[in-house]
Amino acid sequence: MRPLRTAVLALLTAAAGLLPTVAAVRMNSSADDAAAHAASLRTPVLASTLDEPAPDGAAGTGAAASTLPLLRAERAPDALWRAAQQHHIGTEMTAFSSDWPGPHCLAIWIDGVEAFSSNPDPVIPASVQKLVTAAAALAVVDADERLVTRVLTDTEIVDGVLDGTVWVVGGGDPLIMTQSYADSHRRQPQLRTPMERLADDLVALGIETLRGNLIADESRYDTTRFPETWPQRYITQLNSGPLSALNLNDGITGFTTTLSAAEHPARWFVSTLADLLRVRGVAVDVEIDVSAAPSGLSEIARLTSPPLVEIIQQMLRESDNTTAEMMLREIGLRSAGAGSTPAGAAAAERIVSDLLPDQSRPAVVDGSGLDRQNMVTCSFLAALLDHYGPESAFAAGLPVAARTGTLSHRFAEHPAAGRLRAKTGLLTGVNALAGFIETDSGTVTFAQMLNGVPPEGRLGLELQESLAGQLLRYPVGDALALRGLTRAPA
């Protein structure tokens, strides 16, 4: 801190050089604490003889000489106060985090500047990795764009009969759901693309009988159902559903008592569509298959998703693993022409690294953060959040403490309730939290990742709660707020 203090005071001295006299400045060699040094500026460090109006009744036009303090605490530049703030936060946070399980990291940004960072090495982020996926996705899609599932055919409807081949072409929409599946989720309402709407639109065309072939086209993405780096237990536990460009209900076929997954998600999609048509009175007699649609077909119906920005926000708010993995494949398709997990991971890593060239490059292996080979620094995540800011569409997707998403059940009795907006992350031995917290004077951006957390108990959650309480104490914004760090009690 001493070189920084010296530089600041030298700048002040240079700025005062135009004045008639400048007193000598000598730094106290024992002032190792920047906050203490800033407080010491309450007494003059520079003095000048200034012209003042002559007292009443004084003769002549000359000025009375008076020695006045030129630089007081109130006149110190913001840079000096921010230096004191960073030193104060650094001292507190170093002690505060000293006994956290490790490896761990913490980064704090205030007013666009990193105020504190510990451990420059990358650690496992768990679902906080979805911040990286979201940033990469927003870089390659238009926020208002919608994903489209199309129904194509090579024949016409004659007297209520469609007799021929119908293709349903997947557009990568991860949120196509039946009403019953959406209702099965604990948190409501669920953002979805209603599957029933597609059946209703086909009936509205006047179709009373459907004969021939009903074919699913999932060729937009590859047909690897899960990232190949995942352990088998992730698949058995259905931490994500099987992936397909033509996906329904996250690829989950049973969800009333126990979960079960579709072996062939696209085939199951069109089979469910046939059932929905039957419920609506359509006579359906078709052979179901899976293949890519040829060119030259006529579109007779389409199902459009919510805007992509809302899908990305849903992914962050609900920590939706299936959506994250499908978005990663969409990133790969748009950036490298391949809708696969490896292509998407490589593209996402490059995109976010280009976005923050001064930060250490993260290691991206999947979109959800389930893979323990994902690695990122706290500084990178805090810088990424700061890049978008608390008022952005990016930030609007983050869960709010005691209010929404994966934080809806947490911080209920905590001062951070309603004031903390952050992405959560949880794996065995890993707890992570990264986002924004509103203090009385402004916004603090932070990222905390704890690896090596004991699997039993809630130590990781308690450390997140303690951190939130600590961050709420920090002043943000103008120099007046920062001076509260060093001002002596009245």
Sorting pLDDT into bands at 50, 70 and 90, what band is 162?
very high
Note the pLDDT tens digit of each residue in 327-360.
999 999 999 999 999 999 999 999 999 999 999 9
Q: What percent of the chain has pLDDT over 70?
A: 80
Q: Classify each residue of 435-452 as buried b or exposed e, where b means 16 or more C-beta atoms within 10 Å of its C-beta.
A: bbbbbeeebbbbbbbbbe
pLDDT at 225 over 70: yes
pLDDT at 462 over 60: yes
Q: Give the single-character DSSP code of 253.
A: E
| pLDDT computed for residue 79 by the predictor | 66
| pLDDT computed for residue 17 by the predictor | 42
| pLDDT computed for residue 78 by the predictor | 64
Residue 309 phi, psi dihedral angles, 5° rounding:
-65, -35
Residue 158 phi, psi dihedral angles, 5° rounding:
-125, 115
Note the pLDDT tens digit of each residue in 58-113.
444 444 444 444 444 444 556 666 677 777 788 888 888 888 998 999 999 998 98
Where are the extended beta strands (E) located within 337-452?
420-427, 430-438, 443-451
Residue 35 phi, psi dihedral angles, 5° rounding:
-65, -40
pLDDT at 181 over 70: yes
Note the pLDDT tens digit of each residue in 245-283.
999 999 999 887 788 999 999 999 999 999 999 999 999
Question: Please, where in the chain does CATH 3.40.710.10 lie?
Answer: 82-140+312-483
| 82-140+312-483 CATH, one of 3.40.710.10, 3.40.50.2300, 3.30.460.10, 3.40.50.1820 | 3.40.710.10
For 89, the token pair is 């936060």
What's the rounded Cα separation, in Å, for the pair 29 and 51? Answer: 34
Least confident of 47-61, 222-236, 311-325, 412-426: 47-61
| 146-307 CATH, one of 3.40.50.2300, 3.40.50.300, 3.40.220.10, 3.50.80.20 | 3.50.80.20
Question: Please, where in the chain does CATH 3.50.80.20 lie?
Answer: 146-307
pLDDT at 23 over 70: no
pLDDT at 47 over 80: no
What's the first-to-final CA gap in the chain, in angstroms?
27
Note the pLDDT tens digit of each residue in 123-147.
999 999 999 999 999 999 999 999 9
- The amino acid present at 69, given as its one-letter code, is P
Average pLDDT, the chain: 85
